[in-house]
Structure 1
Amino acid sequence: MDLMQLLDMVLHVDKMLGQVIANYGTMVYVVLFAIVFCETAFVIFPFLPGDSLLFIAGAFCATGAMNPWLLVALLLIASISGNTINYWIGSLIGHKVMERDYRWIDKNALKKTHEFYEKHGGKTVVLARFVPIVRTFAPFVAGFSEMTHRTFQLYNVLGALFWILSLVLSGYFFGNIPFIQKNLNTIVLIGVGAAVIPLLLGALWKLFRRVASKA
């Protein structure tokens, strides 16, 4: 396999998973672990497949091609450790920025971001798991904003559990239904919207009450 073929397989592994299993057997666990780890650990890999990969992997588990418990355990380790490394990278860069005086960086904005993550960061870390690209940047921003490590890890683990279990198990039970296969991305977005909209309405209600009390 040349470099271009390898790159194509990695970028489209969610569509080629059956072929990967047929050609490489148990090495598929290593491939899936590496992809989930890299997507969550490094901000330069937001383009790697995430939600669809987990769902389709669950569907292949239903056929007996993979062990669902082994898969879930490995993906949990990959996603939790990946987010942790991303958090520490953001934390390291954030401290250096705060120690030096850069004209192009607003330190007050950084402090406000830190306060936001202290109050609402947990929700962000959990919900970001279900949003491509945002999933890759959320832990970095959490570290950059100096979100406490204990708080981050709590929501990091919760987010990983919800993300991995919901998608892998959904794929396991429903992955072979054609309608769901064709509309997976839409279904995921609807689910995220159902979780996010109540939070936004709650924030708007608090803002309205503050404005009303000042008036």
Structure 2
Amino acid sequence: MKKILVYISKLIMILFVIVSLVLLFIAIFKPDWIKFAIEWMGNLITTLGPWNYLIAFTSALAESLPVIGSLVPGMNIMILVGGFWGKIHIVETIIFASVGAMLGNYFGYFLGQKYGTKIITNYGDYVGIGVTEQKIMERQIEKNGFWYIVLGKFHGTLRAFIPFIAGAGGMHAKNFWTYNAIGSIIWATTINLIGYFFIDNYEQIVDNIGKIVTIITILVIGYLFLFQRESLKKYWDDKTREMEEKYPSTK
């Protein structure tokens, strides 16, 4: 069973990388395709009408769930819904998205509280969250719990695991619910406003996507090199030690 899970997790990650690269290639070299897709989505969202509230709720809920949330493009969906539908019905859209995010986060917290350590020990490596990652995230949550949970909603991968780790690490339910509510409302409001801006300017953004990606890549690499070298080295050493203990050499 574990071998099957390993293969499935690797396959999903490979597909995710391939799809991301294909979309990036299309965005850079075939921007008109992206513009057409956005316009098509805009027409669809307008046609769906009030059903967009359910889409906002469901996408916010799904992207907050452990593992699933790192694969579901909930934030992208919310940007489009927020831009095309929330532009006119912004308050209602924010409310539905906030409630969906809160419930998804709480499910992750509850799951982590009940089964967190066992799940991470037995299956965490299959989704890239092993004991080493758990310890790092628990330290960050203990040190900067409020900011980690609030800002973690905007991280493409961590958003799906932070509530789970908070539950596994024993964060008090009252504190989690407070941080969760504030973070979900801030996230829903921000994403809707980003959607509003994106839809009004998407042609210029798509036309310059290559430059935008290049600038972001340089900034991220520069930040990691200048400020996170020691942390990355420590993480790599800890991860290597964990893997050596878990899978000792047979030589």
Q: TM-score, normalised to structure 1's length?
A: 0.64
Q: Alpha carbon RMSD of aligned pairs, Å? A: 4.1
Residue 116 (structure 1) shift: 4.5
Q: Distance in 2 between matches of 1:108 and 1:37?
A: 27
Q: 1:171 to 1:35 in 2, by over 3 A?
A: closer
Deviations 1:42-85 (A, max 9, x none): 42342111332222222213664xx1111011001111111011
Deviations 1:72-130 (A, max 9, x none): 11001111111011110111103768xxx99xxx9999788655422223222112111
Quote the residue 2:77 is aligned against. 53
Deviations 1:11-52 (A, max 9, x none): xxx956324325533222212211211111342342111332
Quote the residue 2:170 is aligned against. 146
1:178-193 alignment, distance < 5 Å: 178-180=203-205, 183=209
Quote the residue 2:4 is aligned against. none
The partner residue of 1:83 within 71, 91, 105 is 105
Gaps of 5+ in 1: 1-13, 205-215
Paired residue total: 180
Q: Distance in 1 between matches of 2:155 and 2:137?
A: 20
Does residue 72 of the first structure (1) align with residue 94 of the second (2)?
Answer: yes
SS in 1 for 2:71: coil
Percent of paired sites with the same residue: 26
C-alpha contact 1:46 1:136 (8 A) present in aligned 2: yes
Quote the residue 1:122 is aligned against. 146
Higher helix residue share: 2
Greater Cα shift, 163-172 or 16-25: 16-25
Gaps of 5+ in 2: 1-36, 123-129, 231-251
Q: Distance in 2 between matches of 1:94 and 1:116?
A: 17
> What letter is aligned with 2:101?
S
Residue 168 (structure 1) shift: 0.6
SS in 2 for 1:176: helix
SS in 1 for 2:85: helix
